[in-house]
A and B are shown apart, each in its own frame.
Chain A
Amino acid sequence: MNKEDKKLYCKLNESIKISQSCRDTIYNTFDKLPEKEKHIEKYSKLRLSVAITFCSLFLITGIAFGKDIGELFQGLLSHNKGIISAIENNFVETNPSKYIESSNVKAYIDSVLMDDYKLCISLSFELPAEYAKENIHRIEIPNIIIYDENNNILYQMAMKEIDYSFFNNPEISEDNFSYQTSSSIGWAEKDGNIYSFSYIIDSNGFPKSRTINIRFDEINLVDKDLLDYELGLSDMEIINRATLYHISGKWELKYDLSQKTYNRENYTYKIKNYADYPFNFPKELIVSNTESRLEFSYDLHNISAGEDVSMDRDAYIQTQDDKILITECEHEYNGYNAYCRYFFQLSIFNSNSTMQLVIPRDNGKDIVLQLERIEK
């Protein structure tokens, strides 16, 4: 921030305080809120406008991933170098699973990419001729659950109730959180009467699963033209309005992952000069097979005007021959403390043993963190 910006920042922040009447209103409103029945996560795939950057990126990923791995390179080169480098280095499972047929619909898993931060699953459905229409753009699975051999729930979507009884474990119920932090779903790609699409699921730390299991008992074939977001309608109401065909059945898919996936290892980098700046940088940076994340905080009182991290220029990691940009960053100010989170498109495949992580500052004197891989 320059002097003028800093001044404005201070004035806008200091000169306004929440009123007592507003505090009272907030507490009175709490009293009016009804208790809700606790339920497992409801993910609205339709309301992608809220999910912002990740979703738009992953929609592209989703289409290409399931259809043709080769196309992914072309389609995503300018989008996510972390995922591309993983696929280029064969860090992807591409043998289709056995298909499961129910209600004349054959379902199978095309391909899987799983590391600590990402789980990408491409699903295919072979539909009977009467369903395979041109105007089907999306396949909705209203109660899908994805879990591994240890019953870790990796992802669940419960627009329709999930029956947990198959776990034979009363402790696994709708109250169990899954590993997902966010997700997105690609549009369906048609090849004859086979429709493919992908789930792209984010996590703060997926387990090293050996088997992926997917269960659901309903699919909805949806016309995208009817998928208009409308406040006041529930997810199911929107889907019902846009659904051309509801197909009930029972699909239990299983995918055995290979050693390269469940024995994956991250790289750890020492941040050599983490203490040189008035920011609470971690001492180490973890790099997974698809991504790297840096989280830090700082007290705005401790930095002078101009020293603040820039909101206009993106952070990046400089490798020997490439500039690895961020996919997304989050800045959150809480009073005078700032919390930042950067997601870099850096994987173990496009990293070097030494690199520089650059965080631009308003005064142009950028933060340069020296990274050195810790050899095991």
Chain B
Amino acid sequence: MNKLVKKAKNGDKKAFEQLILYYQEDLYKIAKAHLFIEDDINDAIQETIILAYEYIGNLTNISKFKSWLIRILINECNAIYRKKKQENSVSYDSLEIEKYIKQDYEMKNNLEFYSLISNLNVEEKSILILYYVEGYKPKEISKILDINNNTVRSKILRAKNKIKNDLKEDYQYE
């Protein structure tokens, strides 16, 4: 993987595309946790790819490519989220989310995911996805999100507690 990053860093477009395809599922999951409208997710990922391609030459530690990419994506997601909130074009509250789920075929496929994270705030969603889906340690998450290590740990616990009841219900049916 490092070899591919090195090539991409040196201007190899094909290598860069391979890297993005390798991490596309990860990018999608992270964007999905932040933004629930498919168009917004696609915009965030598109902008992330463009920025990453433009600035990969500045990547200092090639073994950190993935966390660097995720950081760009989270910044983009946050920018879109803020913009939408300001514009009031879409209300990111749970009622609106339900409405979109009913309308959007793609979202129906991810219903379980949304029901799990719907009660979490944006930061908790990021942390939970990075911790459980991407497998980052709290220390690494604190660096990606630029927040305190202990805050990450306490937010993981808080997020887990919030969705604990959903999980318990699942156990009862198993």
Contacts and interface: CB of A to CB of B under 8 A. Distances in A.
A50 B53 CA distance: 15
Contacts, number: 171
Contacts of B2: 181
Most buried by A among B12, B113, B153: B113
Contacts of B133: 9, 12-13, 333
B12 A23 contact: no
Interface of B: 1-2, 6, 9-13, 16-17, 20-22, 24-25, 28-29, 32, 38, 41-42, 45-46, 49-51, 53, 55, 57-64, 66-68, 71, 106, 109-113, 116, 128-129, 131-138, 140, 143, 153, 160, 163-164, 167, 170-171
A53 B13 CA distance: 28
A43 to B, nearest CB: 6
Interface in A323-351: 329-335, 338, 341
A22 B63 contact: no
Given A7-B167, A36-B11, A331-B135, A50 B59 contact: yes
Contacts of B64: 50-52
A162 to B, nearest CB: 13
Given A11-B116, A182-B61, A41 B24 contact: no
A234 B126 CA distance: 29
A168 interface: no
A211 B112 CA distance: 61
Interface in A190-247: 231, 235
25 contacts: A7-B171, A11-B113, A11-B167, A12-B128, A12-B132, A15-B116, A19-B38, A19-B106, A21-B38, A30-B17, A33-B49, A37-B11, A39-B10, A39-B11, A39-B57, A41-B57, A42-B57, A44-B59, A47-B60, A48-B60, A52-B143, A312-B153, A333-B134, A333-B135, A338-B135
Given A26-B20, A33-B53, A12 B167 contact: no
Given A8-B163, A52-B61, A22 B28 contact: yes
A330 B50 CA distance: 26
Contacts of B6: 41, 177
A183 interface: yes
Given A16-B32, A17-B110, A22-B41, 18 more contacts: A5-B132, A9-B132, A11-B113, A18-B28, A33-B53, A36-B13, A38-B12, A44-B57, A48-B60, A50-B68, A51-B60, A52-B143, A55-B61, A231-B51, A311-B137, A312-B153, A335-B25, A341-B63
A41 to B, nearest CB: 6
Contacts of A335: 25
Contacts of A338: 135
A121 B64 CA distance: 23
A39 B17 CA distance: 17
B63 A311 contact: no
Contact of A12 (B66, B109, B129, B153): B129
Contacts of B136: 311, 331
Contacts of A312: 137-138, 153
A286 to B, nearest CB: 18
Given A12-B113, A12-B129, A17-B110, A25 B17 contact: no
A273 B110 CA distance: 43
B106 A21 contact: yes
A29 interface: yes
A40 interface: yes
Contacts of B21: 26
Nearest to A37: B11
A4 B167 contact: yes
Contacts of B131: 311
A12 B171 CA distance: 16
Nearest to A308: B135
Contact of A25 (B22, B42, B138): B42
Contacts of A50: 58-61, 64, 68, 71
Interface in A49-67: 50-55
Nearest to B20: A26
A209 B25 CA distance: 43
Given A11-B116, A15-B112, A29-B49, A182 B63 contact: yes
Contacts of A22: 24, 28, 38, 41-42, 45
Given A33-B53, A39-B11, A50-B60, A23 B24 contact: yes
A26 B49 contact: yes
A52 B66 CA distance: 13
A13 B9 CA distance: 30
A157 to B, nearest CB: 11
Closest A-B pairs by Cβ, 10 of them: A36-B11, A51-B60, A15-B112, A25-B42, A44-B58, A333-B135, A51-B61, A182-B61, A42-B57, A18-B28
Contacts of B134: 333
A292 interface: no
Nearest to B153: A312
